[in-house]
Amino acid sequence: GGHFGNGGAVDSNGGNDGAVDGSGDNIDGNSGTVNGSGGAVVGNGGADDGKGGDIDGNGGAVVGSGGAVDVNGGVVVGSGGNVDGNGGAVHGSGGDIDVNGGAVNGSGGNVGGNDGAVDCSGGNVDGNGGAVDGSSIDCSGSDIDANSGAVHGGGGGGDVDGNGGTGDGNRGGKY
């Protein structure tokens, strides 16, 4: 008098009815560290090289509150690519961005911050033995340390502005 299995369904159509939804999730790196010691991100002639491609962060924000982004001896090369932060913001509140002995090169590429903001509130931008080439560094109210390093504006005529910054370390930075 009973029925077995009626009303059940096994859907094996390749998972076409499934969904992986990560909308609304947050990826937080508070007090975390992203280390690339001795590593290299190279886009010269590779398959995933980013030549002529765009990396857009329209309206997005990269926030590393209290964290550190270290590239110890590493090289980040974006030959011919564009890194755009249209309307986005890169915040490093209280964190350090260190390029110890490394180099950030934008060979033939554009580093644009259209309507975006680069905030280094209370943080340090250190270029110990490294080089920051081809763009302008605008760090109002913060410290810019270039111990044994170099700040170049070659090709783009970049500016190094310290509007409102202090040279006595009273903001918690290094001079």
Residue-range domain boundaries for the chain: 90-106+116-150
> 41 Cβ partners below 8 Å, 6+ apart?
74, 75, 76, 77
Distance CA 174, CA 172 (A): 7
Pairing of strands 137-138, 96-98: unpaired
- Three-state DSSP state, 61: strand
Distance CA 93, CA 33 (A): 14
Distance CA 19, CA 15 (A): 8
Distance CA 95, CA 74 (A): 19
Q: Are 66 and 102 in contact (CB under 8 A)?
A: no
Please give the structure tokens belonging to residue 8: 């059940």
Alpha helices per DSSP H over 28-69: none
How far does Cα 150 stand from its chain's mean position? 20
pLDDT (tens place) for every residue of the chain, 175 residues total: 555 555 555 444 444 444 444 444 444 444 444 444 444 444 443 344 444 455 554 555 555 455 555 555 555 555 555 555 455 555 555 555 555 555 555 555 554 545 445 554 555 555 555 555 545 555 455 555 555 444 444 444 444 444 444 444 444 444 4
**Residue 3 Cα distances to 7, 59, 125, angstroms:** 9, 56, 72
Distance CA 62, CA 90 (A): 5
Quick check: pTM over 0.85?
no
